[in-house]
Amino acid sequence: MHLRMSFGTVFAGAVLMVMTSVFMTVGLSSLSFQPAPSDIARPLTAQEARGRQIYISNGCVYCHTQYVRPQDWNAAGGGKASRVAQAGDYVFLQTMLLGSERTGPDLSQEGGIHPDDWHKAHFKNPRYTSPQSIMPQFSFIKDQELDDLIAYVQSLGGKAADARVSQMRAQQDEVLKGWYTSYETHLAQIKEMVPPTWRDLKSAMTPTTRSLLHGKQIFLSNCVGCHGQNGNGRGPASSSMKPDPADFTRVELQVSASDGQFYQYLLFGLPGTSMPAWGDFLTVNDIWDTINFLRTIPKGGLTLPDSELKPEMMLNYDPRYGGEGAGKYPGPQPSNPDKALDNPYCYITPAASATQTAGCEKLVQK
């Protein structure tokens, strides 16, 4: 007896082979691999679950991954990956949004890296907070949906994200107390967040015209979304932020804050505000040039033509600069800022672990 190879027989055999292959590769692994929840895994709240659906429906998964491999560096905030993804991180999710294209940064640990206000401005127009971003605007999202989406993004990272978010919101509450008391109280408060040995530092970059023009370029390329075209803290993102972004036209701020303070704020961000850390994106020289330029804003650094930008415009100009200041600038005072802290990681960067940031509250919130 010979079996006839009809179309139906071939088709049925092909379907059986495909289904068997799928079951062997997917079904058996699903049945046999049941990882325990990791140390950071937790179920989503109702609001976070709604935000997750908004995240999916608007195609965020097309550009953002939610897993980190050992070789990855582009973690939340642009920093080095601090935690490699584990299978147990995803046990409470019916569908894992791992993604496959990292057009934007990985978001698996995004929770608590930026405050809610920053996210609100970022979703309205990503260029407000990330000038080089190619992410589309989501200004059409309703306020409640935006709150849900932010809640979901702040949940990414599970229990570790919860700790970061809790600390960030407590810091904001503390800063707002000073902000609403008086501007002078606010200035004194943010000064206390800087290690004492940093407060008296002077710019390490000679304030030449080249330095000022370079600093102006950096400011216009990265800072106007929050601080405004005139440096007055009235950029398009400012309506979403409390406390307001720094107003560099105010002499009180320029007199109160030392170069070392500005360096700290630019390098590590300013806890309790929407000011992010720029240390992963700008070089040391970039930061000092930017600080030199900030000193010219009260005297027209952003309104006068570039040809008129001179060191003498700096609010803290020292005659020892000697015009272009070559060889005459006194420079920074020798110091080792990390020795002023019990824990040098207290000014949180994306790469800082929970162990490294333990005990930071008593240093950051005084």
**Exposed/middle/buried for 33, CB within 10 Å: 0-12, 13-18, 19+?**
exposed
d(CA 30, CA 64): 25
End-to-end CA distance of the chain: 91
Q: Is the pLDDT of residue 263 over 80?
A: yes
For residue 366, the model assigns a pLDDT of: 34
Under DSSP, is residue 243 helix (H, G, I), strand (E, B) or coil?
A: coil
For residue 70, the model assigns a pLDDT of: 76
Report in angstroms the alpha-carbon separations of 65 from 99, 109, 218, 239.
4, 11, 29, 29
Q: Is the pLDDT of residue 189 over 90?
A: yes
Going by C-beta distance under 8 Å and a sequence separation of 6 or more, which residues neighbour residue 65?
A: 98, 99, 100, 101, 102, 106, 107, 108
**33-59 pLDDT, tens per residue?**
677 888 999 999 999 999 999 999 999
120 confidence band (pLDDT: 50, 70, 90): very high
d(CA 279, CA 266): 7
183 confidence band (pLDDT: 50, 70, 90): very high
236 confidence band (pLDDT: 50, 70, 90): very high
Percentage, residues of the chain above pLDDT 70: 80
Structure tokens at 185: 């109280």
Going by C-beta distance under 8 Å and a sequence separation of 6 or more, which residues neighbour residue 341?
A: 195, 363
Mean pLDDT across 298-324: 78
Structure tokens at 32: 């046999």
Q: Is the peptide bond before 236 cis (omega within 30 degrees of 0)?
A: no
Give the burial string for 176-195 (b: 16+ CB within 10 Å, else e): eebbeeeeeebbebbeebbb
Q: Which one, of 48, 135, 40, lies nearest residue 89 by Cα?
A: 40
184 confidence band (pLDDT: 50, 70, 90): very high
Give the residue ranges of DSSP H helices in 182-294.
Answer: 183-192, 196-199, 209-222, 224-227, 251-256, 259-268, 284-294
Percentage, residues of the chain above pLDDT 90: 56
Q: Is the pLDDT of residue 15 over 70?
A: yes
Most confident of the following: 2-6, 23-27, 146-150: 146-150
Mean pLDDT over each residue of the chain, to the nearest integer? 83
Q: Is the pLDDT of residue 110 over 60?
A: yes
Q: Check if the beta carbon of residue 63 is closer than 8 Å to that of residue 135.
A: yes
Q: Could you give all domains of the chain from N- to C-terminal order, each with its CATH number?
A: 46-164 (1.10.760.10), 182-364 (no CATH)
For residue 173, the model assigns a pLDDT of: 96
Report in angstroms the alpha-carbon separations of 349 from 26, 79, 89, 219, 356.
39, 8, 22, 21, 10
Q: Which one, of 295, 296, 241, 256, lies nearest residue 117 by Cα?
A: 241
For residue 14, the model assigns a pLDDT of: 84
